[in-house]
Chain A
């Protein structure tokens, strides 16, 4: 795939991640800034179709833009910490242990670490580790749910894109 096409594809993916990121902001699940990680769908897709470096770029750009558009500095910190940690874990699992994991397994691990990253930042911001313990159980249960959903969605998106002739051609 040539450079420009790749850039355009990544830009599209980022914009979609951004929309997911913002839609998530409307869901009254936890707190301003702390999110379930629906945007991880796009992270995972990028990871599989483009690679680790590209996925990290998607995460960072999405977090920064998303927080600038609707959020605060703390929201950006939450978002970055969660996104990067989740991306690292998913990348590690995908490129190293792919044979042992389904898409859902990888994305669930990603979702769990997405929460851990955010909670660590929240603990630091609020100055008490109590936050980590208080929210860990609830968010982990939620992560299992979203993780599964994110994995499923990613699997279909990847499958669909890989079946597309134009994409295959571009990829080749």
Chain B
């Protein structure tokens, strides 16, 4: 009897040990890591799913963003862009490869949009000072005076020397409408190199999605409500596995005082043909593209060009989709987005 019980106890012990060990053997999968920083004049948020080296990967991404900012900011005195601007009409300036690439890309978009997208808008941007502390509405004469300097064809690139030259003194470039997209692409590239599969990058509203969610679902990206007055609220949803979603609109930055008094929005996206804030009947545009640089540049372009010309341009480009929201709260989409946009706000009417 005793012997029998001892054997039984042993069997139970082994059995229990097995059960207990099984409970401990749960392995930890990739974890979520987030990083929030202020860079490129905006709030940057990176969310990745990675192993223990997650924080290191995020640090690398942040370093790269800071590098890009130091080269492309108009407010940092020794940045490539500042040096190009201060040497306008004087001499070509040697720049870093990434600055060169971005300017080259910007000129391509200027070409295909017939100058609707134009980085030489800087003299106008500076004149209005929408993003500065003291924005103002300039006189017609002032605008005409500065508009003379706005012409992307006066930017000379030297591929071999990697130099950029602005032909006219008084000219200036501003990469604000494209640099964030480039930075998002660069972060995505670094994350991929580090083996990250699922990630979501948000550079002040420029969203770059990678690999869908860890559960295999696509990332659900909201389209900002252009009349949420500062609140983060969406009116529609776009689902993306890999790709970038970027919005531009009159709601991002505008002269608040004037808006409060008159209801007129003097916003930060200027039409290079008039020197005034773009007034094409749109409140906002959103562009979906594989690369964030394309989505970034095109969201501005479509906003300036308006529904018809803008969406026509997008339909011609491969792998690019867009939606445009008019003042009467109607949403127009490019061909590729038909049936894919999930409108969540009843006030907005999706056009067939």
Contacts and interface: CB of A to CB of B under 8 A. Distances in A.
B12 A70 contact: no
A15 B12 contact: yes
Interface residues of B, number: 8
A25 B20 CA distance: 12
Interface in A46-71: 69-71
A40 to B, nearest CB: 19
Contacts of A22: 15-16, 19
Contacts of B9: 15
B19 A25 contact: yes
A19 interface: yes
Contacts of A19: 12, 15
Helix, strand, loop or mixed for chain B's interface? helix
B12 A69 contact: no
B22 interface: yes
B23 interface: yes
A3 B4 CA distance: 24
Contacts of A25: 19
Nearest to B16: A69
Contacts, number: 18
Contacts of B15: 19, 22
Nearest to B9: A15
Interface residues of A, number: 8
Contacts of B12: 15, 18-19
B20 to A, nearest CB: 6
B22 to A, nearest CB: 7
Contacts of B19: 22, 25, 69-70
Interface string A69-107: 111000000000000000000000000000000000000
Interface in B1-53: 9, 12, 15-16, 19-20, 22-23
Contacts of B23: 70-71
A25 B12 CA distance: 15
Nearest to B5: A12
Nearest to B23: A70
Interface string A22-48: 100100000000000000000000000
A25 B16 CA distance: 12
A15 B16 CA distance: 11
A18 B15 CA distance: 11
B13 to A, nearest CB: 10
Nearest to B20: A69
A15 B5 CA distance: 11
A70 B12 CA distance: 13
A18 B19 CA distance: 12
B9, B12, B22 interface centre (most CB from chain A within 10 Å): B12
A43 B255 CA distance: 77
B6 to A, nearest CB: 13
A69 B12 CA distance: 11
A24 to B, nearest CB: 12
Nearest to B19: A70
Contacts of A69: 16, 19-20
A55 to B, nearest CB: 21
Nearest to A18: B12
Interface in B227-261: none
B243 to A, nearest CB: 37
Nearest to A12: B5
A32 to B, nearest CB: 10
Nearest to A23: B15
A68 to B, nearest CB: 9
18 contacts: A15-B9, A15-B12, A18-B12, A19-B12, A19-B15, A22-B15, A22-B16, A22-B19, A25-B19, A69-B16, A69-B19, A69-B20, A70-B16, A70-B19, A70-B20, A70-B22, A70-B23, A71-B23
Given A70-B19, A70-B20, 16 more contacts: A15-B9, A15-B12, A18-B12, A19-B12, A19-B15, A22-B15, A22-B16, A22-B19, A25-B19, A69-B16, A69-B19, A69-B20, A70-B16, A70-B22, A70-B23, A71-B23
Interface of A: 15, 18-19, 22, 25, 69-71
In order of increasing CB-CB distance, the 7 nearest A-B pairs are: A70-B19, A69-B16, A69-B20, A70-B23, A22-B19, A69-B19, A19-B12
Interface of B: 9, 12, 15-16, 19-20, 22-23
